[in-house]
Structures are given as C-alpha cells and as structure tokens.
Chain A
Amino acid sequence: MTTISRPRPTATVRPRTSRQPATSPSEWSLASVGEWLRSPVAPYYLVLASAGILTALGLVMVLSASGPRSFVDSGSSYTVFLEQVAFAGVGIVLALVGSRVPVRWWKRMAFPAILLALGLQAAVFTGLGVEFQGNRNWISIAGFSLQPSEFGKLALVVFGAAVLANRRKVIHRIVPATAPFVFPFGLVLVGLVLQGHDLGTAMIMVAIVVGMLWAAGLPAKWFVGVGAVAAGGVAFLAAGSANRMQRIQVWLGDICDSPHAANGGCFQKVHAEYALADGGWWGLGLGASREKWGLLPEPHNDFILAIIGEELGLPGTMAVLLLFAVLAYACFRIVSQSDDPFIRLATAGVMIWLLGQALLNIGSVIGMLPIIGVPLPLVSSGGSALIAALIGVGLLLALARSVPGAAERLKARPSALRRTLAVVPTRRAAGRGSRR
C-alpha cells in the first residue's frame, strides 16, 4: 500500500523496452509460445512445418539410402532420388491446391472419390495390374505405375467423414452408423486390398474405419465385438501365410538362426538393428551409412528410419518421432477447436492414417512390432504413397484453415508474395493494401 505512493525514482531510468510484455513478436518466451499455440492458426502452421520438414528429410534420406543400389541397377546414384523429387513436386502442388480448396468441395468429392478408389483397386486384378514382391496392388497406366490403395486411404477418410458427419444423431445405432461407410464400401475396399495380399495397407484401412467410427461416437460396446472379430481376422490371415508367421515368430521369440542369410527370417530385423547401432548416439554422418550397401533390404523404403538412425544418430530418429508427435498434436488441435463434424472426422481420419502408418513402420524397424511392411509416410520413397500422403496433408491444411478464426488470421497476415509485391509502388499493390 505504501509502496504505491512511494516515489520510484528508478522507474524513469529503466528503459521502456524491458518492461514491454513478452508478446512482442521479436521476443520468445515460454508464455509467448504457449499463447501462440493457443491461437487458431497454430494447427495450420504446425501441420505445414512438420509435414514440410518430414518431406524434405525424406528426400534427403532417399537420396542417401538409395544411392548404392540405384547405381548398381541403373548406373546412376540419382535415379531413384530424381523420381522421388518429381513425385514430391507433384504432391506438393496437389497439397497446395488441396489446402486452398474449400472444405465443402472436399465434402462433395467424397462419393466420387470412394467410387474411383474402388474402381482403381478392382483394376489391380485386370490386365492393368502388376504384381510386385508378392503383392498385387499396383496398376500400370501409360508407363506410370500407381498404387491405388494409397489413394484409397485418402478416399476412405474423406468418404467416412462426409457420411458420418450426417449421422451424429443416430450414431449410437449400429446400422446407420456403419452403412454405407463400412457396409459395403469399407469392407469391399479392404477386401480388395487383402485380395492383393497387402496386409499392411489393409490394417491401416481397418484402423481408419474403426478410428473414425470411434471419433464419430459409436458406443464402445460395438468396438469390443468388432475388435474381437478384427483380431481374429488378422490372426487368421497371418496364420495363412508362412512368411507372416515367420515374421511374427521372429518378433516374438527372438529366434535368429542365421542373421546373415538373406532368406533367413530375421535378416531384416537384425540389419535394421545393426544400422541403428552403427549410428549410435550421434550417427555416422549424412551419406555414411554402411547398411545401405545392399545389406539392409529396402533401405530407402520401409527401413528408411534405420538409415536415418545410422547416418544422423539418435537426434535424427528422435526428430522423426517429434515431427510425427507435432503432427498428431496439430490434428488434435484442429479437432478440439472445430465444431464442424466433417472437419473433426476428416482430421481424425487423416491423423489415424498418417500416425497409424508411422507407428506401424517405426515399430517394425525398431523391433517392437512384427515387420508389417508399410512405408513411413512422407519420408519413404514411393510415388503413390508420397503423393497420397501430401494430398492428405493438403486436406489437413484446408481443414486447419477452416478452424474458427483461422481463416481471418491467415488472411490478416499477408503472404510472402503479397508482402514482396507491397513494396513495389503500383496502384494494384496499393489497392490491395488498402482493402482491409
């Protein structure tokens, strides 16, 4: 009390800037970051940053990991990489376009998308289909090969979100909740994928369907029954394949007769561990992987995380985990900030897709799951997977822009292009500047 009336001679001396609140854009503090994270634009930028960094890291690591094999196969170390750059280019353009497409358009595309997905997936079994490494889930059109199931995941998400969004009131009843999302579309799509022997993709699709039903609010009791059926199904499918059983045994039993025989069941698991151990705490350095020299199978594909660990060490692998965590957090934020059921469900779908696939992949590489054979989203090489994932990111960005308050804030901040043009003294730039 007395202190208030007491004169504070020092106050006038103290520089004003130091008493400025921490919200100054030029300064960082825990409080300012926290406040920024609570802002409606945070999910947009978090998605943009995490997906962007993952994609860039993926390109760099695909270049490194594919080099030796690419040289043997084609005489150039850059063949696989340059293809991947082209795919990334296509994917980024589609993602940017997708991020600007209004959400209602996305919604409208739901039905055509699922039909197209089913059509393409069925085409796998026509003359267009191509079998690769025992899986028949490729089609070849005009020299380009395409993996329809990757786009099927996206279609499933959009379709599921659009359908379930209209059934909020009846979600507790099983029939309206599951038709037509599960019966027939989801089931047929998963069935077609399984027919092509791609258990990994089928598992992701089932996860998307189940997760979206969960997010839509289907009562928990149904999941118990469905879960039992799903587990039984996976077990049946796994038991039906000697290869899959071997992988599961390797994972469970730690049996390893001949770690150096390429056809010994634990070859991949052992060499993934070798790669990670070679990298150690700090890594061997970018480009210095040993296991990519034909030792670890699929070094630029399913096992790219092992090569990241080998070359970039623990910081590299931790960064990948962190970036996926950020992506998951951003998705959670979109869901929690939005009231629109389509946005909430579509976000949940994309999150289940990307995060679920990432967890399956990472778990396989580090020996905590049987080797399922799914690529690491955004990072692994593979055109269809990368383009589909980037379109998924585009959808996420579009959804993030639709969070209440986000669009306004994003518009308020002029784009880099606009800011650059603003300094050019033309009538057009001046007009734009004055529009708000």
Chain B
Amino acid sequence: MRTMLVGVMVVLSLFAAQLVRLQGLDAASVSAAAVNGRLEVRAIPAERGTITDVSGAELAVSVERRRIVADPTLVEDYTLKDDEGEVVAEGFAAAAQVVSEVTGADEGPILEALTDPPGEKYTVLVKDVSPQTWQELRARGVRGVSAENVMRRDYPLGEAAAPLVGWMGAGEMPAGGIELVHHDDLTGAPGEAVFEVGSSGERISTGLYQEDPAVPGQDVRLSIDADLQWYAYDAIRERVKDAGALRGYAVVQEVSTGRIVALASYPGFDPADDTQTSEDMRNAAIEDVYEPGSTAKLITAAAAVEEGLVERDTPVEVPVSLPRGGTSFRDVEPHPVQHLTFAGVIAKSSNMGTILVGEKLGEQKLYDWIRKFGLGSPVGHGLPGESAGLVPQPGTAGWSDTTQYTLMFGQGYSGSFLQQVSVFQTIANDGTRLTPSFIQGTVDEEGRYAELPLPTGTRVVSKETADTLTEIMQQIPATGGTAPLAAVDGYHVAGKTSTADRFDETKGGYSGVTSSFIGFAPADDPKYVVGVAVQRPTKIHRFGGIIAGPVFSSVMRYALQKEGVEPAEGPPLEVPLEYDPAKKAPGQGSGVTLGDIAIKDEGRR
C-alpha cells in the first residue's frame, strides 16, 4: 500500500514538473502560436465621401447595408421549430424559408445558393438588405447564417444626375463622372480589425481585439443645384421625347464664376443598374462632339467687332446668293436682296451676311479667333471623356476652299456642347472666359469645408465688344428675331439659335440637324448662361429656336426665379435690324447713302 502511495506521489510530481514546463517555461512561444492560430483579420470598409449639391443635398451617398451569407455545412444541421417546439422544416429548406420570410427575397435562389455554393463553406444568400432586416433575421437564429457589412452607393437623383455624378462599378471602382474624377478624395482609408475567433468564426469576447479604424472619405460639394438639375433634366427629357429626337442636353452655368449649376442629358441611365454596358452610360453632354452651327456666328461677330471691322449698325447688303470657294452659299430661307444692319445679320442668322463680314478677317485671323474662344481645346472642366473637337487649320489638308466660309457659321468643324456654352459665358461675362467647373468645395473627414478658389479668367474680347454683341443678341428671342419662343417673361434675354447640319457617323454624311439655343439673362447683368441642344429632332420642327427655345425659356425662368433675380424694368432694348439704302450715311460726305457704304459682295474669287 505504501508502494502504491509512493508511486502516485512520484507520478504526480512528474506531472507537476511537466505542467511547470508547459505553463511556465515553454508557455510564451506556444501561446504565441496559439494566438496566431486563432487570429482573424477583417477589413473595415471606409465610408465613401458623399457627393452633394451646392446646398448640401445628397447626390451620391454611401449607406451601410448587409450582405447575408451562409456556411452550408452549418446550415445543414438547422431545424426550424414552431411555437410548440415541433420541428416543421430542416436543413437548407428551413433556412431558405426563414431568410425568405424575413428579407422578402425569393426562396428559390436562396435554396439554390445553399445547395450549390461557390465555396464549400461560403455562399451569398441575399446580396443587399438593410441593417434592420439583418437584425430581424439574426433574432431568428438560423444556424450558419451570418452577415457581412457592405456599403451601397445610392443616387437620390437617379437618372437626372447620373452622367454627371458618375457611378460605382464592379469591385467598388468608380466608372465615370465626379465619382471617377474625385475618387481619391472620396475614398477613405479602409481600417482593419484583428481578433481571436472560435471554431465557427465567432469572435471570442474575452480574446484579443485590435482595431485600426477606417478613415472616411472626403465629401465633395458640387456647384450643381439639385432642384435645377432635375428641372433641366425633366425639361430636356420631355423635349427629346416630343421632338422624336436622338438625344438632348441642357446646361446652366453661372456667368460670373463659370460654375455649372445644372448639366443634364437625356436619355440618361440608372446608376444603380449594374447590368448595362458602358455604351449606355455615357455622359453625352460632355462626350458628344458635333458641328455647332449658327451659335458659332457669335465668334465671327465678336472677332469682327473686336477687330474694328464692323459696328452694330454697319449696313450689310445680303445678296440672293453668294458664290465663294467654288460653291454658292445661300441662307436657310430664300430671299431677295436684303438690307440688314450687322445686328440684323446676326439676329436673322444670315449665313451670307456673316460671310461678307467674316471674310474681312482673313483665314488665319478667323482661325486664331476660333481657337481663342476655346474651340479645338478641351474646356478643362476635368470630367472624363471630353473631346477637344476638331478645328481645321489653314494650310493643312483639312482646309478646303470653302472651309473658311463654313467655319464662319459653325459648319465644317466640330466641338463640344460646353465649348459653345463657354463662348456665350465669355460674352455674358464682359469678354472674360472662365473655365467651367463642377466643384464648389470639399469637406474633409473632420467636417471642415474648403471652398474651391474661383478660376482666374482669360480675357477674350473687350467689354465694349461684349456689350455690342449682347445688344445684338437681345434681338433674337424677341418678336422678329429667330427665336421668339426663347423669350423669358419679365426678363431681357440675349441668345442665339442654331440649326446645324448634323454629321451622322453611322451614315457617313450629313443627315438631320442639331437644333440648339444658347443664351444668357438678364441681359444687362447676366446671371446664368443656359444652353440647350437637341440632336436630330424628327418631329415638330427642325429650327433651333422652335425646338430648343422653349426649353431654354423654361429652364432660364426657373433658374432666375429660384435665385430671386429681379425682373427687368421697361421694354427690352431694340436696335435697328434693317436700314434704308437710300438714307444718307452718317459721318460721310453729302450724297453718300447707307447703300453706298454697305458691306456687299464685291466678287471675291
């Protein structure tokens, strides 16, 4: 018996020594291996910055969502019991039933995800549910079902702002618009949590937990006004539909800052629909290039006035037809010889009148002026997909005999919508061009708002020239002008129509027209430039004044009233559009009539 006791004591002493070794001497390294084996690293997604409009309304916002996932090997053992504890369903079918009940998702795909999972222990049951729904599901305690935190990007304005704001594509990568341009600012730094887990992946509550918190991205505040954006989108959408057109764009730009307040195009796309192709998701208002047409006459006119070749009331004798460069130019509607002032040439959009004035510049100067107004160069607003357009240069292969004449009225070269709008902004802003921009400022992670500085402008023409052109353009949206429908009640508007032959790439030639109207108001102290362009209208009419004018009027009125701009007092300025050729020319010798001094076809070439 004593032997037995001694034996027990000896063995216990050996055990004690082994325990001292395991728990004391060798513990540190083994414990480190043990902790390592239990550690799990989980990324904490950083909240992407919000894109807001100028007053803080959300245009793109990340919301926290849950993705419901499951481990099928655990779900297998799940049993669904009713209130009396009777088993009513088992395994996959039971889990699918409960998940479907709570989330409202179809049971079929859930069951399929469980029976045919992509990985042995991982399958996605429902891609996207609210955190509340997940809490409800969690309370049901379905074995093996868990949730992952995901961020979903929501676009409250939907289609109306989608091309501009952009969208998030697969793999949390931005795929256009502001989302792409400001990706670095918007993206925060994801965090990381390191913690110990048990066998089924649950966190050991008493174990190690280290968190490197995520840094949320910066908020970006756009100069866009959400109300105006939607209004403009709605207006252009209705017009494109009614006119049976291919597409259309509308833009509102603030004259004194160059900031874009609204930029809409139709057809748009739903940014949340991830099944569409990139072809459906273009920002047409930015990416399209087309021949601008008569709105470009403003460039010719500005150049001529700035160079001192003409004045507002300079008489121009417009012939029936004008042979130049081996062809015969005519106006849109046939007419007898017209006696138009320079203002009348622009207001009535006479091609021949414009050529008679513009040819005085010479081809190199004409080209220089076109480039000076920004055509042939990117506008520089920074949105992706912008094209510089194509302006042929004198002396190169693209320059034909007729090129200089067509350039004067906006055919034979191409440019973007915003390039044209920028020309009008220049005139409205007393001759100084400001680079269009979309960003008002950014808000960093600590909530500090930093407004983006205004761009320094580029003077293109003198204030006097700009004033002259504004006076002329006031005649257009008025009775007798080419776009009475573009008038805005109570405000004096300056603007220009365009009905340009449209180069159709699919047909390899001219087909249909681009109908547009660009203008600004109030004429005496312009607040906004509004541009509207409709591609290939097939119904109603083809003229820019008729197709685009009403949209311009509607959007401009809304913008001015929203901003609380005072209506104009008194009637709009009227300048003579025609002259009497028999009338004595002022400042000339006696017997010299206006007809004598008028610019007329002197038979060039």
Contacts and interface: CB of A to CB of B under 8 A. Distances in A.
Given A260-B37, A321-B12, A277 B23 contact: yes
Nearest to A314: B23
Interface in A277-299: 277-281, 284-285, 287-291, 293-295
B8 A359 contact: yes
B23 A293 contact: no
B19 A321 contact: yes
Given A215-B4, A274-B37, A276-B23, A366 B18 contact: yes
A403 to B, nearest CB: 14
A275 B34 CA distance: 8
B173 interface: no
A295 B38 contact: yes
A211 B4 contact: yes
A39 to B, nearest CB: 19
A294 B200 contact: yes
A290 B204 contact: yes
A305 to B, nearest CB: 9
A332 B1 contact: yes
Interface in B1-34: 1-2, 4-5, 8-9, 11-12, 14-16, 18-20, 22-24, 26-28, 30-31, 33-34
Interface in B51-73: none
Interface string A339-370: 00000100010011001000100110011100
Given A280-B27, A332-B2, A321 B37 contact: no
Interface string A260-278: 1010000000010111111
B11 A359 contact: yes
A290 B207 contact: yes
Contact of B15 (A211, A321, A335): A321
Given A277-B30, A280-B31, A317-B23, A294 B16 contact: no
Contacts of A291: 34
Interface stretch (A55-63, A138-146, A193-201, A323-331): A323-331
Contacts of B12: 321, 324-325, 328, 359
B5 A288 contact: no
B196 interface: yes
Given A290-B196, A325-B12, A277 B22 contact: yes
Contact of A277 (B15, B20, B27): B27
A309 B198 contact: no
Interface in A302-336: 309, 313-314, 317-318, 321, 324-325, 328-329, 331-332, 335-336
A249 B382 CA distance: 70
A280 to B, nearest CB: 4
A277 B37 contact: no
Contacts of B207: 290, 293
B387 to A, nearest CB: 58
Interface string A215-251: 1000000000000000000000000000000000000
Contacts of A176: none
A30 interface: no
A275 B20 CA distance: 14
A68 interface: yes
A317 B16 CA distance: 8
B590 interface: no
A276 B19 contact: yes
B141 interface: yes
B86 interface: no
B206 interface: yes
A75 interface: yes
A31 interface: no
Nearest to B32: A277
A273 B30 contact: yes
Contacts of B479: none
B456 interface: no
Interface residues of A, number: 54
A318 B19 CA distance: 8
Contact of B18 (A275, A344, A355, A368): A368
Given A215-B4, A314-B19, A352-B4, A274 B30 contact: yes
Give the interface SS of chain A, mostly helix, strand, loop or mixed.
helix
Contact of B200 (A72, A329, A336): A72
A287 B206 contact: yes
Given A336-B1, A362-B15, A309 B37 contact: no
Chain B contact residues: helix, strand, loop or mixed: helix
B98 to A, nearest CB: 15
A368 B31 CA distance: 19
A273 B196 contact: no
Contacts of A68: 198, 202
A259 interface: yes
A363 to B, nearest CB: 7
Given A278-B34, A355-B8, A295 B23 contact: no
A291 B33 CA distance: 13
Nearest to A280: B27
Contacts of A75: 141
B18 to A, nearest CB: 5
Nearest to B200: A294
A271 to B, nearest CB: 8
A295 B199 contact: yes
Given A260-B37, A294-B200, A329 B5 contact: yes
B121 to A, nearest CB: 13
Contacts of B141: 75
B199 A366 contact: no
Contacts of A352: 4
A75 B197 CA distance: 19
B19 A280 contact: no
Interface in A191-217: 211, 214-215
A325 B12 CA distance: 7
A325 B9 contact: yes
Contacts of A215: 1, 4
Given A68-B198, A290-B206, A273 B11 contact: no
B131 to A, nearest CB: 23
A162 to B, nearest CB: 18
Contacts of A278: 27, 31, 34-35
Which of A211, A351, A366 gathers the greatest number of chain B CB atoms within 10 Å? A366
Interface string A169-190: 0000000000000000000000
Nearest to B208: A290
Contacts of A318: 16, 19
A215 B5 CA distance: 12
B23 A309 contact: yes
Contacts of A214: 4
A348 B7 CA distance: 13
Contacts of B1: 215, 332, 335-336, 344, 348
A355 B10 CA distance: 13
Nearest to B141: A75
A336 B4 CA distance: 12
Contacts of A279: 23, 27
Given A274-B31, A321-B15, A366-B15, A281 B24 contact: yes
Contacts of A262: 199
A59 B1 CA distance: 32
B217 to A, nearest CB: 36
Nearest to A275: B34
Contacts of B197: 293
Nearest to A327: B8
B204 A293 contact: yes
Contacts of A284: 206
Interface string B224-259: 000000000000000000000000000000000000
13 contacts: A274-B37, A278-B34, A279-B27, A280-B27, A287-B206, A290-B35, A291-B34, A294-B200, A317-B19, A318-B16, A321-B15, A336-B2, A352-B4
Given A279-B27, A344-B1, 18 more contacts: A260-B37, A274-B33, A275-B34, A276-B23, A277-B22, A277-B30, A278-B27, A290-B207, A293-B207, A314-B19, A317-B23, A325-B8, A328-B5, A332-B5, A351-B4, A352-B4, A359-B12, A368-B14
**In the complex, the 3 A-B pairs of residues with the closest C-beta atoms, listed nearest first:** A293-B198, A294-B199, A274-B34
